[in-house]
Amino acid sequence: MAGDTTEKTDKVDHEPPRSTSVVEKGEIVEIDADEALNAVAGLDAATLQLDEEAERRLLRKIDMNLMPLMCIIYGLNYLDKTTLSYASIMGLKTDLKLVGDNYQWLSSLFYFGYLGWEFPTNRLLQRLPLAKYSAFNIIMWGLVLALFATTENFGGAVVIRLFLGVFEAAVTPGFTLFVSQWYTKKEQGFRTSIWFSFNGFAQIFGGLVAYGFARGASIHGFSIAPWKAIFIFTGVLTSTMGIIFLFVMPDNQLNARFLTKEERVLAVHRIKVNEQGIGNKHFKWYQVKEALTDPIVWGFVLYALLSDIPNGGISNFFSQLIVSFGYTPEQSLLYGTPGGAVEVVTLLLCGFLGDRLGSRLLVSMVALILSMVGMIMIVAIPLDKPAGRLAGYYLTQADAAPFVAILSLISTNVAGWTKKTTVAAMYLVAYCVGNIIGPQTFRPKDAPEYRPGEITILVCWALCLVDLVFIWSYYRRQNAKKRLVRADPSYTKIENQEFLDLTDRENAEFSYSL
């Protein structure tokens, strides 16, 4: 397929590669097309039409079987990363004999493992059965997390954090692929916001669990350190959910046990509007090259880098930050939970309004501005007014909305399965780099105000706002170019073009969501 498509320019192309698959007399002639083409080849389009009520029933069935499991798993994904923050004020630093900037490096080392394995794991997500490979990683990250309770020094903790990053590297890109497989463009933004919002629920749940362990240990005493109990609890819970995921989650519509044979074909047909299909396991170098030369992809990468410097700092230091406001360590565990509620509300609201209004990017910009207001409050309000600074911290938790909006646009706006997995890897590599840098901006010598870290966060968010404007305006221009191509009298649409694994730039029928 790469033969005549390796040389692409910035113009919108509408001629597919010469070796794309075609259908002749109901049979697939070549094997480079999307897996979905086998499901719809030779079928009468009239038999695949769904009335409005039937489509609602099918969508409800898909939601009920996929979303609850994805939400719980993703919540645990966040909980497992922030368990270190809870443990940091429950005796972990003393028991592991952490000195100097050891804790900052433990925070960052998770992302070194994530970073090093991100490209290989995205290739494996494309090549292997999606649900099964995802389940393997979920089970393994839970086991590794539980093993943190056995560490006795900084060196042991380093190994655990690195492997935790390796196994968690598959989760976010894998879930993005699930959304791309199962949902139409108009549905993807809100669905991505739903499962990502469970980061907020995990913050609420994790804070309450950590507070319960801390109180229980202080009143009744534990046979092990309370921070070790938290790691064992969250690790075992994660692995258990991973086993359930293995047996319940389908790799795609074609092997979904909760759908009838007829519903499987209809579930494939309904996402034809995405112009993407449900998967292609062949690696295509021309799509990698297109990802590396696509300006909008680098806009995504820049956003992930800039936005995750604040995320890396806040997610690993929020407990210590709240203590710096003047609260006790136990109070910080409890008072951090409303921040999770803010994240949940803003993600769901922005996801819903973004899909409803057809402008995920513009809606998410409002949430980013709200986060900036919150950080300005933390910087400007004096230390002797902790309530105002705490309210500012809660507002900063709205910053996840634009990150999720772009994550959903990778699902919606990037076509070609090699290109999609490449872009997801690039986005999450930048996410890792930002999260590695973030904890380093909160230096021990800057306590209790951590002013350099707070100023860094404000500057990063301001640059993120500029980047979002660029992405929004670039997509508008590309949609206008594609309309001109389709209006050309010589343009013809190829049969089943939606399932030929074309990239978004080479498919003139592809329209970018905003």
Question: Which pLDDT value is given to residue 364?
Answer: 96
84 contacts 318 by C-beta, under 8 angstroms: no
Question: Which pLDDT value is given to residue 37?
Answer: 64
Residues 6+ apart with CB under 8 A from 506: 5, 8, 13, 14, 15, 16, 17, 290, 416
Q: What is the pTM of this model?
A: 0.81
Distance CA 58, CA 259 (A): 9
- Establish if 197 belongs to a structural domain: yes
Question: Which pLDDT value is given to residue 45?
Answer: 55
Biggest CA–CA distance in the chain, Å, is: 80
Please confirm whether the linkage preceding 448 is cis (ω < 30° from 0).
Answer: yes
- Establish if 228 belongs to a structural domain: yes
Residue type, 66: L
- Establish if 8 belongs to a structural domain: no
Q: Quote the number of domains for the chain.
A: 1
Three-state secondary-structure class, residue 90: coil
Question: Which pLDDT value is given to residue 244?
Answer: 96
The residue segments making up the domain with residue 375 are 37-499
Question: Which pLDDT value is given to residue 452?
Answer: 87
Distance CA 107, CA 104 (A): 5
Number of CB atoms found within 10 A of residue 482's CB: 20
Distance CA 122, CA 170 (A): 7
Residues 6+ apart with CB under 8 A from 425: 118, 119, 121, 122, 173
Rounded to a whole number, what is the distance in angstroms from the first to the last CA of the chain? 30
- Establish if 339 belongs to a structural domain: yes
Closest CA to 196 of 403, 22, 364, 43: 403
Q: Is the dihedral of CA 379, 381, 386, 387 positive or negative?
A: negative
- Establish if 30 belongs to a structural domain: no
- Establish if 3 belongs to a structural domain: no
pLDDT per residue over 282-325, tens digit each? 889 999 999 999 999 999 999 999 999 998 777 766 677 787 77
Residue 411, domain CATH: 1.20.1250.20
Ordered DSSP codes for 438-470 = HHHTS-GGGTTTTHHHHHHHHHHHHHHHHHHHH
- Establish if 321 belongs to a structural domain: yes
Three-state secondary-structure class, residue 28: strand
Structure tokens that stand for 139 in this block = 């089970």
pLDDT per residue rounded down to tens, the chain (514 residues) = 333 433 333 444 434 433 444 433 334 334 466 666 666 555 555 556 677 888 899 999 999 999 999 999 999 988 877 788 778 778 888 889 888 888 878 877 888 899 999 999 999 998 999 999 999 999 999 999 999 999 989 999 999 999 999 999 999 999 999 999 999 999 999 999 999 999 888 878 887 887 787 777 677 767 788 888 889 999 999 999 999 999 999 999 988 999 998 888 888 888 888 877 777 788 899 999 999 999 999 999 999 999 999 987 777 666 777 877 778 877 777 787 888 889 999 999 999 999 999 899 999 999 999 999 999 998 898 888 888 988 998 999 999 999 999 999 999 999 998 999 999 999 999 998 998 888 788 777 777 777 888 899 999 999 999 999 999 999 999 999 999 998 988 888 877 777 788 899 988 888 999 8
- Establish if 10 belongs to a structural domain: no
